[in-house]
Amino acid sequence: MGVWAIGTGGLALLAILALVHLTQGTAAVGPRELLGLLLGTGDDQQAAVLAASRMPRLVAGVLVGLALGMAGAALQSATRNVLASPDTLAVDAGAHLAIVAVAAFGVSLPSLLSGGLAFAGGLAAAALVIALSGAGASGSGGPMRLVLAGSAIALGLASVTSALLLLFSQETTGLLAWGSGSIGHTGSSDLREFAPVILLAGAGLLLLARRLDLLTLGDDASRLAGADPRVARVVAVVLAVMLAASSVTIAGPIGFVGLCAPAIVRLLAPRVRGLARHRALLPVSALSGAVVLVGSDVVVRVVLGARAGVEVPTGAVTTVFGAMFLVVLAYRMADAGTSSMGDTLARLRPRTVHLGVLLTLVVLLVGLVCAGALLGDAKLLLGDLYNWATQRSGPTVTAILNTRMPRMAAAVLAGAALAIAGTLIQSVSRNPLAEPGIIGVSAGGGLGAILVITTIPAAGAWLVTGSSLAGAALTALLVFGLAFHGGLQQNRLVLIGIGVSAGLTALIAVLLVSTDPYNQTKALTWLSGSTYGRTFASVIPPLAALAVAVPVLAGLRRDLDLIAVDDDSPRVLGIRLTASRLVLLATAVLLTAGAVSSVGVIAFVGLVAPHAARSLVGSRHSRVLPVAALLGSCIVVLADLIGRTAIAPAQIPAGIMTALVGTPYFVYLLWRSRAAR
């Protein structure tokens, strides 16, 4: 089988999918009517439906698929990384933020100018990710590192985007659904304007094909052939980002097409002569992207029906498929490990240092709680707080503190629970970058809770808690089950978790888009991690989880010290490694679910707090766990305080604030590990 056969087969498959695609919809224009239109015997109403609705959707799917497929292939070649794509390089997230930011501030721009801003945002994000992953100089940064860096940057950018969507809900009406990636609302004018951009960028990459061939052989081969590898790499990335930005402007972020399409072609390349050369690889990858995107749109409407399928964002469907593909790729990746990024084996600090750190953190936490109780749109005094505690305050002060104190309690307990959960997951997996949010456990708990919130508006707190616990437990079972298969490997766990998290986030997006505006806003606020409207009943889930976890961890603290080192030491000392791991991971899942059901999804607390704790008191878990818990509480309380007071009376959810702080810290860990290599 040759390249021409692959290309011809791909075109035939795309043509078949296109014909099926044109017969799908809510109007009565099926295969028979479509045949009549092709033969010139159809009526004008059927032709109008085809021209106004179905053809633009099909053309958008083909154009966006072509752009993403070729962009992904170019990025993979430029970075010499099979996991590179507009998603994993945070190009989509950067472009999405740029467009939402313009809309949020009431600026209306023509499509091409919006595309230019999307290009600038995507290029800046890609440059940062490539620099952090170590792929910029020689493409040798490692597949896993690139995904880790891209996921962290994308999460931080997505947090800013979510804040803008919440704070400027009127100005950004419709952008939530668009942000999930949809080819169903694309205008013909956008297609006419961006088709030449996509064609020109694609032609530029084809002209660069020979230099990309040399890049795959190494920088030395490029220099011997008289080509500067840095120039080729930069030009390829710029053109690929132009393609991705155009697709985002047309249809919003369409997940994982840029990863799956070229990866499929690269899997075929060893069996097809000439397919590995970029003059064939690039166009076939583009064709594969169009097939994947149009095919996904066809499949979802076949499965869900025409009416329901039209409303489901195409990007959510491709993300679910892509997430599964990413999990499969995780088993094909060599695991280089990232232990040098953590402080797991940090030097033990003296006991006096430990006690001093504990006392300082307790004082800091008390101060932050008092500040959180006194500050806000209405300022109070310490005397007011004392009077409220002794039940002698007036009705106004009582009403204010009855609102604020449950928020403080929820922040304290949820922060502690997430920090302890992160510590356990990092230690058991021996991966310093693992935490409930990164490996998908928080997304699983979020999906369970959102499912209840959007389908049962009057659901009580315990039903939300139970669904969150079930979602987190099932996700943890899936992620760790896949990661432990064939032996637990550090980066495989994180890569599988990222894939599962992406798939679950896409399912959450489907639920949000399909629900009514009231539940949508409520669910979006909850997903952003907010203490707004919490009562003392809301603190029961994390309190109960901590009450169960503390005695369990007190008994297993020495086992945890040994498990965090290697597999051999626990076995030599008679510790049942599998049983201990299961108990510790179950405890982490319980803590995560308790926190998520109380305050929603709050990212990076489980990453930042354990690292900071180890750097302060060493690696012994009898010291790390309480210090991490106090740090987690301080982080969430501070995030909630800033979110309530920075732009009062409006509020920024605490989860967005922690992501804005946690992303730079995650970037710092990656940069430090890169410098140490």
Q: Using an 8 Å Cβ cutoff, are 543 and 595 in contact?
A: no
Cα R_g (the chain), whole angstroms: 26
**The pLDDT value given to residue 400:** 87
Of 530, 520, 512, residue with least CA distance to 650: 530
In CATH terms, are 3-332 and 409-676 the same topology? Answer: yes
**Tens of pLDDT along 33-58?**
666 666 666 666 667 767 667 788 88
191 DSSP assignment: H
Residue 109 pLDDT class (50, 70, 90 cuts): confident
Percent of the chain with pLDDT over 90: 20
Residue with tokens 């399409």: 261
Residue 156 pLDDT class (50, 70, 90 cuts): confident
Residue 144 pLDDT class (50, 70, 90 cuts): low
Q: What gap in Å lies between CA 631 and CA 420, rounded to an integer? A: 10
Q: What is the CATH number of domain 409-676?
A: 1.10.3470.10
Q: Using an 8 Å Cβ cutoff, are 69 and 258 in contact?
A: yes
Q: Using an 8 Å Cβ cutoff, are 443 and 601 in contact?
A: yes
Residue with tokens 């799917």: 61
**The pLDDT value given to residue 346:** 43
pLDDT at residue 294 above 80? yes
Residue 343 pLDDT class (50, 70, 90 cuts): very low
Pairwise pLDDT comparison (494 vs 78), residue with the higher score: 78
Give the mean pLDDT of 176-188: 73
**The pLDDT value given to residue 35:** 67
**Tens of pLDDT along 505-521?**
888 877 877 776 666 66
Q: What gap in Å lies between CA 346 and CA 36, rounded to an integer? A: 74
Average confidence score pLDDT of the chain: 81
CATH superfamily, domain 3-332, is ABC transporter involved in vitamin B12 uptake, BtuC (1.10.3470.10)
pLDDT at residue 665 above 80? no
**The pLDDT value given to residue 340:** 42
Q: Using an 8 Å Cβ cutoff, are 124 and 113 in contact?
A: no
Q: Using an 8 Å Cβ cutoff, are 628 and 438 in contact?
A: no
Pairwise pLDDT comparison (412 vs 571), residue with the higher score: 412
Q: Using an 8 Å Cβ cutoff, are 673 and 169 in contact?
A: no
pLDDT at residue 342 above 50? no
Residue 344 pLDDT class (50, 70, 90 cuts): very low
Q: How many Cα atoms within 13 Å fall on the side-chain side of residue 169? A: 11
Q: Using an 8 Å Cβ cutoff, are 96 and 78 in contact?
A: no
**Tens of pLDDT along 590-647?**
898 888 888 888 878 888 889 888 888 888 888 899 999 999 999 999 988 888 887 7
**The pLDDT value given to residue 142:** 58
**Tens of pLDDT along 63-92?**
999 999 999 999 999 888 888 889 888 898
List, as own/partner pairs, every contact residues 482-490 make where C-beta atoms lie below 8 angstroms and the sequence separation is at least 24, other chains included: 482/327, 482/330, 483/429, 486/331, 488/429, 488/430, 489/335, 489/337, 490/335, 490/337, 490/338, 490/339, 490/429, 490/430, 490/431
**Tens of pLDDT along 320-336?**
888 888 787 777 665 54
**The pLDDT value given to residue 1:** 62
Spatial CB neighbours of 279, under 8 Å, sequence gap ≥ 6: 206, 209, 210
Give the mean pLDDT of 140-145: 59
How buried is 7 (Cβ within 10 angstroms: 0-12 exposed, 13-18 middle, 19+ buried)? middle
Q: What gap in Å lies between CA 272 and CA 268, rounded to an integer? A: 6
Pairwise pLDDT comparison (204 vs 22), residue with the higher score: 204
Of 267-276, 357-366, 575-584, the least confident: 575-584
State phi, psi for 2 to the nearest 5 degrees. -110, 180
**The pLDDT value given to residue 486:** 57
Q: What gap in Å lies between CA 371 and CA 373, rounded to an integer? A: 5
pLDDT at residue 533 above 80? no
**Tens of pLDDT along 256-273?**
899 889 988 988 888 888
273 DSSP assignment: B
Q: What gap in Å lies between CA 227 and CA 218, rounded to an integer? A: 11
Domain residue spans in the chain?
Answer: 3-332, 409-676
Give the mean pLDDT of 211-226: 79
* SS3 state at 2: strand
What's the longest Cα–Cα distance across the chain? 90
Residues in a beta bridge with 2 = 273
DSSP track, 599-612: H----SHHHHHHHH
Q: How far is CA 188 from the centre of its chain?
A: 31
Q: What gap in Å lies between CA 370 and CA 378, rounded to an integer? A: 14
